[in-house]
Amino acid sequence: MKLKELELNVDYFEFNEKLYQKLDATPLSKPKLISFNKQACDLINLDYEECESEEFIDFINGSNVLKGSVPYSMVYAGHQFGYFVPQLGDGRAINLGAVNGWHLQTKGSGITNYSRRGDGRAVLRSSIREYIMGEAMHALGVPTTRALAIIDSDTFAHREWEQESCSIVMRMSPSWIRIGTFEFFANTDNSKENLSQLADYVIKNTYPHLENENNKYEKMFYALVDNSAELLAKWQTYGFMHGVMNTDNFSMAGLTIDYGPFAFMDYFDKNCICNHTDSEGRYSYNNQPYVARWNLMVLAQALSEIANLEKMQDYLHAFLPQHENVYLQMMNKRIGLNPKNSGNNNLDLIVELLGALQSAQMDYNVFFHRLTNLESFDDISSITDIAVFRQSIEDWFESYKKVCEKDGSTFEDRRVIMKKINPKYIIKNYMLQDAIELAHEGDYTLVNDLLNIAQNPFDEHEAFEKYAQPTPMEYANTQLSCSS
Ligand code: AMP
Ligand code: MG
């Protein structure tokens, strides 16, 4: 389809006008296309050639408003680092409407009523990070928002230490509603009506099978608990850390949203903190499932006017066991085992592995890729060679070997299982940093190469063999800041 034939549908104006703001974007000066995403084009039926046009750049920049589109920003609230903030909102994001069930939103399009002291902008580095990471997560089967395109510009914004160039990413999601949206609606006049209207909206967009059910609001909550348990299990399995799991960054659809100081863990450290601002480690790797449960508890409170709090709290007890169940299934696959064969879920073996990886100071995801390609227990040097300390890993292999014998599988059997879950490439922060540095010089090739690697992480990318190696120690497990 041509760009000008694309028709957007806005479904948010059914709400009281205090709950959103209609507004125009403030375009960036001299916008330039960095990259567009063919997979995202397919999702909205947009012809690839259209993305090379000036009109497309203007569309991302907000100066070309498509048919049916009425730009707006949404208000929400949220618990930030555990403290309630009664009013947040799309401070730099503008929604354009939906096509094919994908709600399009630009991030960095200027000041809105919800910008507070912010400038409404997103700088190049954070935009590149978000653009690539959503696609990397999707390719690993982790539910996430997606991105259609990213532009650079001659507009600058002041950040911590210098002026940085501004950028816009066009994001897409089946839903942009957050737990924080419910928290805001729960604090309005007519909260009961507003809450049921919002819950109906979420059900229509995300949980349509519940539309005609009794107690549908409680069931919506249960569905989100289920989705979130699965989401967190996937994050934990791949060593992904979100970094700012505030309730305003927690999706009502169970998706990974609002990419900020995230990281795929380099070297395994269960207490790893990727967000520089998070001095107490509230959002450390290990804490993530507990924080998700805490966030869901906040949602239960916000919904309590329209749904039964006690029932929701009861259901929430299932969150951690459910999370553990999915996590263990996935971790078994990561080591090539079928729990049915070994007669248990191999919890002890997996816990021992995490301890061994931690003691060995070993690159987490590279370990699994090398395990996938292992051909014999007599030579595990491809793995021990990347350990700083090897004893714990050697010991673990003794335990693993025994379980494999019980499992009755061959190296080949296990490889078949592992190949589907252990990618050769995981997008680490240092790789994104390489792409960002080149982009600052006007060279966007690495952004596009990383996009390709992110979308095809199980394939060979010969020119990028170095990115399949352990993260160089000097770049490992570094922390990033929120403000970008
Ligand atoms: P975050 O935790 O990064 O998702 O952001 C928290 C809140 O701050 C959200 O309401 C954002 O819209 C807002 N915000 C973050 N950066 C900016 C900015 N540069 N300008 C305006 N609002 C911002
Ligand atoms: Mg946010």
Residues 34 and 129: their CA atoms lie apart, in Å, by 13
Tell me, yes or no, whether 201 and 309 share the same domain.
Answer: yes
pLDDT band at 340 (very low <50, low <70, confident <90, very high): confident
Mean local confidence (pLDDT), 248-256: 98
Task: Please tell me the total number of residues recorded for the chain in this structure.
Answer: 484
Whether ligand 1 lies within 6 angstroms of the CB of 243 is answered as: no
Residues 68 and 328: their CA atoms lie apart, in Å, by 46
Mean local confidence (pLDDT), 354-359: 98
Give tens-digit pLDDT for 124-148. Answer: 999 999 999 999 999 999 999 999 9
pLDDT value of position 229: 98
Q: Which whole-number Å values give the CA distances from 216 to 17, 177, 209, 223, 249, in the listed order?
A: 25, 17, 10, 10, 24
Ligand 2 centroid to Cα of residue 170, in Å, is 15
pTM of the model: 0.98
pLDDT band at 344 (very low <50, low <70, confident <90, very high): confident
3-class SS of residue 355:
helix
Token digits for 243? 């970094």
Answer yes or no: is pLDDT of 482 > 80.
no
Tell me, yes or no, whether 201 and 303 share the same domain.
Answer: yes
Is there a domain that residue 294 lies in? yes
Is there a domain that residue 353 lies in? no
Answer yes or no: is pLDDT of 439 > 80.
yes
Q: Which of 173, 206, 231 is the last residue of a domain?
A: 173
Tell me, yes or no, whether 239 and 131 share the same domain.
Answer: no
Tell me, yes or no, whether 22 and 169 share the same domain.
Answer: yes
Whether ligand 1 lies within 6 angstroms of the CB of 121 is answered as: yes
Residues that are catalytic: 248
Tell me, yes or no, whether 185 and 146 share the same domain.
Answer: no
Kindly list the protein residues that place their beta carbon closer than 5 angstroms to ligand 2, a single-atom ion: 249, 258
Tell me, yes or no, whether 192 and 315 share the same domain.
Answer: yes
Task: Ligand 1, residue 157: give the atom nearest the CA.
Answer: 19
Token digits for 388? 């700083």
Is there a domain that residue 252 lies in? yes
How many other C-beta atoms can be found within 10 angstroms of the C-beta atom of residue 361? 18
Question: Please, are residues 273 and 479 in contact by the beta-carbon 8 Å criterion?
Answer: yes
Is there a domain that residue 61 lies in? yes
Answer yes or no: is pLDDT of 227 > 90.
yes
pLDDT value of position 483: 67
Is there a domain that residue 375 lies in? no
Tell me, yes or no, whether 160 and 269 share the same domain.
Answer: no
Whether ligand 1 lies within 6 angstroms of the CB of 101 is answered as: no
Neighbouring C-alpha atoms within 13 Å toward the C-beta of 348: 7
pLDDT band at 267 (very low <50, low <70, confident <90, very high): very high
Question: Please, are residues 348 and 359 in contact by the beta-carbon 8 Å criterion?
Answer: no
pLDDT value of position 472: 95
Whether ligand 1 lies within 6 angstroms of the CB of 470 is answered as: no
Is there a domain that residue 455 lies in? no
| Nearest alpha-carbon partner for 62 in 109, 30, 97, 107 | 109
Tell me, yes or no, whether 119 and 229 share the same domain.
Answer: no
3-class SS of residue 351:
helix
Tell me, yes or no, whether 166 and 236 share the same domain.
Answer: no
Choice among 159-163, 307-311, 329-333 with the minimum mean pLDDT: 159-163
Is there a domain that residue 283 lies in? yes
Mean local confidence (pLDDT), 236-240: 98
Tell me, yes or no, whether 7 and 149 share the same domain.
Answer: yes
In this structure, what is the dihedral angle of CA atoms 429, 432, 437, 439, given to the nearest 10 degrees? -160
Task: Count the domains in the chain.
Answer: 2
Is there a domain that residue 446 lies in? no
Q: Which of 293, 327, 361 is the last residue of a domain?
A: 327
The residue whose CB lies within 8 Å of the most ligand 1 atoms, and thus the one to mutate among 114, 158, 183, 250, is 114
Residues 339 and 345: their CA atoms lie apart, in Å, by 5
| Domain of 41, in residue numbers | 3-173
3-class SS of residue 139:
helix
Residues 245 and 288: their CA atoms lie apart, in Å, by 8
Mean residue pLDDT across the chain: 97
How many other C-beta atoms can be found within 10 angstroms of the C-beta atom of residue 220? 23
Tell me, yes or no, whether 235 and 292 share the same domain.
Answer: yes
**Percentage of the residues of the chain whose pLDDT score is greater than 90:** 96
Tell me, yes or no, whether 17 and 163 share the same domain.
Answer: yes
Give tens-digit pLDDT for 362-379. Answer: 999 999 999 999 999 999
Q: Which of 131, 146, 173 is the last residue of a domain?
A: 173
Q: What's at 136, amino acid-wise?
A: A
Give tens-digit pLDDT for 55-113. Answer: 999 999 999 999 999 999 999 999 999 999 999 999 999 999 999 999 999 999 999 99
Whether ligand 1 lies within 6 angstroms of the CB of 89 is answered as: yes
Q: Which whole-number Å values give the CA distances from 191 to 80, 181, 182, 185, 215, in the listed order?
A: 22, 12, 10, 6, 18
